[in-house]
Amino acid sequence: MRIERIEIRHTKMELVSAFETSMGVETYEEHIIVRVDGDGATGWGECVVEEAPLYSSETVQTAWHVLRDFLIPGVLGRKISRVDDAIALGAKFRGHRMAKAGLESALWDALAKAKSVSLSKMLGGTRERVPVGVSVGLQATPEALVKKVGQYLEEGYRRIKIKIAPGRDIALVKALRKEFPKILLQVDANSAYELSDVDVFRAMDDYDLLLIEQPLSYEDIYDHSKLQRKLKTPICLDESIHTLADARAALELESCRVINIKPGRVGGFMESVAIHDYCASRNIPVWHGGMLESGIGRAGNVALASLPNFTLPGDISASKRYYKEDIVEPEFVLNSDSTMTVPTRPGIGIEVLMDRLERVTVRREEFKS
């Protein structure tokens, strides 16, 4: 496929409710939507950078710069027949994995559509439905959290993840376990603690949690190995895993027993599949994380999560958990068995609603060969 045209859009979408984590409060989500056109096919991708460098060091502005000045000029006008070709063209540029993943995902969609296969098939997916849960932000009080979780359980989510932060941790877990003794429950600290906080996590060992996500620093692997040795509950790394090499280091050092995979964080679907396969070979389960994507990114996430070693429920919730109206059709809905259906149509398998995309676009730039 000859890449004839690429368009990037900075989008801003209002969340249905504020999302608070140890990193701060978000009331809307800013991302970059990438569109690639070539040989009559159109591919869409979502670059999951945020406004501020809180979760990742990348931002909307850094990704815009790297896409516009380095990654897009590398592929524009070229003939790309496999995603590997595009990855090779960008490989000399270091870091900026979310920017790379945004472009890579649009190319995957375009190439899969050109071949008339679903992205799930193209990535090696084996399942028609994937198990999902919901990620619940910090609430004002433990009572408010219990109420919010109750609502999500009512909607059919069978796995709950809650955000924790220093001083807002064990009391939340206690309150939830009292009300819901049997639910699948896990916590995410987003790097808010230090090794000296070991007692907080030791206390969590009594509450039958599925896992503790990213308790320590966002690039650390070594201290997590020291913490994991002192806990019964599995540690799951999110922020610390940027590459297959990081995953290898983390498993060799026994820093975690589970890995969260987000294509944006690791530079795309190709690296995600490599991490998935490596973890499978070591009997380490993986699950699909989320970055509050619109339906464009979500469609790709569901396709990736259809690979066989994504055995734990993902942070892939229904469109309406995030946005009043999604920018795709059909929007993503939760099945009654707490799963999401994997699209089977070519590529990411959804239609982008151009009028809605237009309404959430705050800046747009077009590149032609």
Nearer to ligand OSB, 115 or 158 (CB): 158
Q: How many residues line the site for Mg ion (CB under 5 A)?
A: 3
Q: Which does 349 bind (CB under 5 to 8 A by kind): ligand OSB, Mg ion, none?
A: none
Residue 228 found at the interface with ligand OSB (CB under 6 A)? no
The single residue of 100, 113, 161, 163 carrying the catalytic annotation is 163
163 has catalytic annotation: yes
The minimum distance between CB 290 and ligand OSB, in angstroms, equals 2
The minimum distance between CB 73 and ligand OSB, in angstroms, equals 29
182 has catalytic annotation: no
Q: Which residue is nearest to ligand OSB (CB)?
A: 290
The minimum distance between CB 241 and Mg ion, in angstroms, equals 11
The minimum distance between CB 241 and ligand OSB, in angstroms, equals 12
Residue 238 found at the interface with Mg ion (CB under 5 A)? yes
Per the DSSP assignment, residues forming a β-bridge with 341 are 129
CB 96 within 8 A of CB 63: yes
Residue 291 found at the interface with ligand OSB (CB under 6 A)? yes
From the list 118, 135, 255, 272, which residue makes contact with ligand OSB (rule: CB under 6 A)?
Answer: 135
Residue 188 found at the interface with ligand OSB (CB under 6 A)? yes
The single residue of 174, 262, 320, 324 carrying the catalytic annotation is 262
Nearer to Mg ion, 51 or 179 (CB): 51
Nearer to ligand OSB, 26 or 37 (CB): 26
Q: Which residue is nearest to Mg ion (CB)?
A: 238
Residue 3 found at the interface with ligand OSB (CB under 6 A)? no
Binding residues among 157-216 for Mg ion as defined by CB under 5 A: 188, 213
The minimum distance between CB 324 and ligand OSB, in angstroms, equals 16
Residue 308: Cβ within 10 Å count: 12
Spatial distance between the Cα atoms of 220 and 283, rounded to a whole number of angstroms? 22
* Backbone CA torsion sign across 316, 313, 124, 240: positive
Residue 326 found at the interface with Mg ion (CB under 5 A)? no
From the list 7, 20, 37, 238, which residue makes contact with ligand OSB (rule: CB under 6 A)?
Answer: 238
From the list 11, 22, 139, 190, which residue makes contact with ligand OSB (rule: CB under 6 A)?
Answer: 190
Residue 37 found at the interface with Mg ion (CB under 5 A)? no
Active site residues: 163, 262
Q: What is the binding site for ligand OSB (CB under 6 A)?
A: 55, 135, 188, 190, 238, 289-292, 315, 317
